[in-house]
Amino acid sequence: MGIQFSRYDTVILAADVGGTNTSIALVGKQGDRYDKIIERRYGTQDESSFEAPVSRFLAEALETGHPYPRLLCASGAGPVIGGSIALTNAPWGID
């Protein structure tokens, strides 16, 4: 039998954007426990925006029966300027 996603209090989309790779995962949280449900890695330099790999990741996750996330946690390699992350090694940022 497959994973029972209803056992999670919430599902989080977690993203880590570096100069080389962008890692995106769905993480299930129940109480103090966190479980990685699905993870994919994309080449940061191959992307035109933060939204591009996130959209592809969500489409794949939802098509394969994974739950839609309720929260987003994103980190990026660069300073926060005016509420956005200005990536140091990519031509785009995270708003």
- State the Cα–Cα distance between residues 44 and 54, nearest whole angstrom: 12
Backbone angles phi, psi at 79, to 5 degrees: -80, 155
Query: 24: closest CA among 51, 64, 63?
Result: 51
* Prediction pTM value: 0.89
Q: What is the pLDDT of residues 17-38, one digit of tens each?
A: 999 999 999 999 999 999 999 9
Q: What is the pLDDT of residue 61?
A: 96
For residue 60, what is the enclosing H or E element?
helix 51-63
Q: What is the pLDDT of residues 64-93, one digit of tens each?
A: 999 999 999 999 999 999 999 999 999 999
E-strand ranges in 31-89 read 33-43, 71-76, 80-81, 84-85
> In order of start, what are the domains of the chain with their CATH numbers?
5-85 (3.30.420.40)
